[in-house]
């Protein structure tokens, strides 16, 4: 077989599509409006026109109780945003009960602030195209449980740091208008979520996309290139409770929480690194794709194909029924690497078992317990999975795997990848998988390898994220 040195066009294009900086330099432009008091800031906002850039001097601004910095009926354009920016990154600190309160506005960018309020910041449904970039969020731990609530379409949340929370509550919660709709086309990228140390059983997610009543609504959110570290407030670091979302290229490290498709259908979980924490990926609902994920060193369950209290959620359910688990049906689980986790690939034992799930071309390596510990399954497809290690095979059907040493080699980034001569090379067989590239950004081509990594001799384009890759100072 001919060995490949792949082009990176798809991965490079994906990175290039991520917007880059919002300037925070002190240099003035024709549209710069410098302000140094809350009164000046409010006046500048009231008079702002498309393209204006309001530059807030460094300092601490305490908003009086019962007041706010109001952005009402202000509309920039896609090409000429109204930008409100701290003169230096993190230099303008907003304290008090409330900071910015938006209403009926669009194409507004808020950049470079240190948010220290006690009340939830909201992007309401009557706004659109609001961007929060390069901010530092550390709201009062004794204040509202949610730090940022998003209900508006086309919101961008990028290069922010959400950190240091010890109580119940969520860093970012996404809802929509009315009781069932979801905000559309949310983009959350290059953010750093760290140090949520709430010790309760649940209720401390970094991100929650939806809620049970909104599960059947498609949100079309993209959550990518975010880093989660020491996020221990909930077993779900990214909790998806809506439909049609993409969770990709994120790194969750040393955290209790994992990626959970708790409610909803047709979401994609792709090319995420979950390393050294507790839980991995857990899925409920229908028609999901779980592809190219690297799950390593987890002390809990690495990949769970969930059973349900119901077969499918529907619009006629009661509130209690909607809160139940929807059995995982027709998921495609392909090209994932599960390496040295305490719990590997497992199922559950609720009344409704998962059905029609495809588990193919995955790499499972471990030295204790069972590599596969499913509950009852009906009509699963098990195909060309590669198993290795002292752990038992478990209850994977005999025709759905082979056993061989994958010849893994650890890179400088700590990731175990295939080395030359691995039996995983060229051994993937699932037809119609449509997996164009691997977790590193290498093109898979027509002859694919088993697991998240496609063997290549060139350096990886993507790695597990570090603090330098995300947050207010990221490129």
Beta strands 401-403; 392-394: pairing state: unpaired
In sequence order, what are the beta bridge partners of 75?
A: 106
Q: What are phi and psi of 303, to 5 degrees?
A: -140, 120
CATH number at residue 422: 2.160.20.10
Is the pLDDT reported for residue 259 higher than 90?
yes
CA atoms within 13 A on the CB side of 7: 5
**Predicted local distance difference test score (pLDDT) of residue 434:** 81
Among residues 363, 402, 360, 362, the alpha carbon closest in space to that of 382 is found at 360
Does residue 116 lie in a domain region? no
Q: What is the pTM of this model?
A: 0.94
Nearest-angstrom CA–CA distance, 239 and 255:
14
Does residue 428 lie in a domain region? yes
Nearest-angstrom CA–CA distance, 219 and 244:
6
44 token code pair:
């500048």
Cα angle for residues 342, 343, 346 (degrees, 5° grid): 170
Is the pLDDT reported for residue 451 higher than 60?
yes
In sequence order, what are the beta bridge partners of 123?
A: 150
114 token code pair:
């240190």
Neighbours of 264 (CB within 10 A): 28
**Predicted local distance difference test score (pLDDT) of residue 90:** 98
Does residue 234 lie in a domain region? yes
Does residue 453 lie in a domain region? yes
In sequence order, what are the beta bridge partners of 196?
A: 165, 231
What is the arithmetic mean of pLDDT over 249-254? 98
**Predicted local distance difference test score (pLDDT) of residue 8:** 42
Is the pLDDT reported for residue 165 higher than 70?
yes
As a dihedral over the C-alpha atoms of residue 434, residue 436, residue 437, residue 441, rounded to 10 degrees, the angle is -140
Is the pLDDT reported for residue 468 higher than 90?
yes
Among residues 210, 301, 176, 197, the alpha carbon closest in space to that of 255 is found at 197
Nearest-angstrom CA–CA distance, 312 and 327:
7
**Predicted local distance difference test score (pLDDT) of residue 143:** 85
289 token code pair:
């794709």
**Predicted local distance difference test score (pLDDT) of residue 31:** 76
Burial class (CB in 10 A: 0-12, 13-18, 19+), 393: middle
Among residues 266, 257, 258, the alpha carbon closest in space to that of 284 is found at 266
Nearest-angstrom CA–CA distance, 270 and 438:
9
Among residues 111, 64, 216, the alpha carbon closest in space to that of 473 is found at 111
List pLDDT tens digits, range 124-147: 999 999 999 999 999 999 888 999
For the chain, percent of residues with pLDDT exceeding 90: 88
List pLDDT tens digits, range 374-433: 987 778 999 999 999 999 999 999 999 999 999 999 999 999 999 999 999 999 999 987
Is the pLDDT reported for residue 358 higher than 70?
yes
What is the arithmetic mean of pLDDT over 66-75? 98
Is the pLDDT reported for residue 296 higher than 50?
yes
Is the pLDDT reported for residue 12 higher than 80?
no
Nearest-angstrom CA–CA distance, 267 and 160:
25
Nearest-angstrom CA–CA distance, 272 and 207:
15
Give the list of residues 6+ apart from residue 185 with CB closer than 8 angstroms, or none.
153, 154, 220, 221
DSSP 237-269: EEEEESBS-EEES-EEES-S-EEEEEE-SS-EE
What is the arithmetic mean of pLDDT over 74-100? 98
For the chain, percent of residues with pLDDT exceeding 70: 94
343 token code pair:
């719990």
Does residue 74 lie in a domain region? no
Count up the domains in the chain and report the number.
1
CA atoms within 13 A on the CB side of 390: 3
Among residues 445, 335, 337, 421, the alpha carbon closest in space to that of 383 is found at 335
Beta strands 408-410; 416-418: pairing state: antiparallel
Is the pLDDT reported for residue 204 higher than 50?
yes
Nearest-angstrom CA–CA distance, 64 and 33:
23
What is the SS3 assignment for 363?
A: strand
**Predicted local distance difference test score (pLDDT) of residue 378:** 77
**Predicted local distance difference test score (pLDDT) of residue 226:** 99
277 token code pair:
């924490």
What is the arithmetic mean of pLDDT over 328-345? 98
Does residue 397 lie in a domain region? yes
**Predicted local distance difference test score (pLDDT) of residue 441:** 97
In sequence order, what are the beta bridge partners of 329?
A: 286, 355
List pLDDT tens digits, range 178-192: 999 999 999 999 999
**Predicted local distance difference test score (pLDDT) of residue 29:** 52
Residue with tokens 């330099």: 25
Domain assignment of residue 289, given as a range:
159-469
In sequence order, what are the beta bridge partners of 243?
A: 218
Nearest-angstrom CA–CA distance, 324 and 312:
10
Identify the weakest region by mean pLDDT among 13-17, 172-176, 244-248, 422-426. 13-17
CB 269 within 8 A of CB 303: no
Does residue 110 lie in a domain region? no
316 token code pair:
């006629």
Does residue 281 lie in a domain region? yes
Whole-number mean pLDDT of the chain?
Answer: 93
């Amino acid at each position: 077989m001919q060995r490949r040195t792949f082009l990176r066009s798809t991965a490079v294009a994906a990175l290039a599509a991520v917007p880059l900086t919002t300037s925070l330099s002190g240099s003035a432009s024709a549209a710069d409006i410098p302000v140094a008091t809350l009164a000046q800031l409010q006046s500048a906002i009231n008079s702002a026109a498309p393209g204006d850039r309001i530059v807030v001097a460094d300092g601490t601004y305490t908003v009086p109780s019962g007041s706010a910095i109001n952005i009402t009926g202000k509309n920039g354009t896609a090409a000429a945003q109204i930008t409100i920016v701290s003169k230096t990154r993190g230099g303008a600190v907003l304290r008090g009960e409330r900071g910015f309160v938006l209403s009926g506005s669009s194409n507004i960018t808020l950049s470079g602030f240190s948010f220290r309020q006690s009340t939830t910041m909201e992007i309401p449904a009557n706004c659109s195209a609001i961007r929060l970039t390069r901010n530092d969020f550390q709201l009062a731990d004794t204040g509202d449980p949610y730090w940022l609530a998003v209900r508006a379409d086309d919101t961008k949340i990028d290069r922010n740091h959400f950190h240091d929370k010890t109580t119940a509550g969520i860093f970012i919660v996404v809802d929509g208008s009315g009781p069932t709709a979801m905000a559309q086309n949310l983009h959350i990228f290059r953010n750093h979520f760290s140090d949520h140390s709430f010790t309760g059983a649940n209720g401390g997610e970094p991100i929650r996309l939806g809620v049970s009543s909104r599960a059947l609504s498609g949100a079309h959110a993209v959550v990518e290139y975010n880093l989660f570290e020491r996020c221990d407030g909930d077993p779900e670091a990214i909790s998806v409770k809506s439909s049609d979302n993409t969770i990709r290229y994120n790194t969750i490290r040393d955290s209790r929480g994992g990626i959970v498709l708790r409610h909803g259908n047709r979401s994609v979980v792709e090319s995420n690194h979950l390393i050294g924490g507790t839980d991995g990926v857990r899925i409920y609902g229908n028609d999901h794709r779980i592809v190219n994920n690297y799950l390593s060193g987890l002390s809990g369950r690495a990949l769970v194909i969930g059973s349900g209290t119901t077969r499918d959620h529907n619009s006629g359910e009661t509130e209690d029924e909607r809160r139940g688990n929807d059995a995982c049906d027709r998921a495609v689980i392909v090209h994932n690497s599960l390496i040295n986790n305490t719990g590997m690939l497992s199922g559950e034992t609720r009344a409704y078992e998962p059905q029609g799930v495809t588990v193919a071309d995955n790499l499972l390596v471990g030295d204790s317990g069972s590599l596969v510990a499913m509950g009852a399954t009906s009509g699963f497809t098990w195909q060309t999975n590669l198993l290795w290690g002292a752990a038992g095979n478990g209850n994977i059907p005999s025709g759905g795997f082979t056993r061989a040493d994958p010849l893994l080699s650890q890179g400088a980034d700590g990731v175990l990848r295939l080395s030359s001569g691995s039996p995983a090379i060229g051994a993937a067989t699932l037809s119609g998988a449509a997996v164009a590239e691997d977790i590193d950004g290498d093109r898979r081509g027509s002859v694919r390898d088993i697991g998240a990594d496609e063997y290549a001799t060139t350096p990886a384009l993507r790695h597990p994220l570090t603090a330098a890759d995300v947050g207010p100072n990221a490129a």
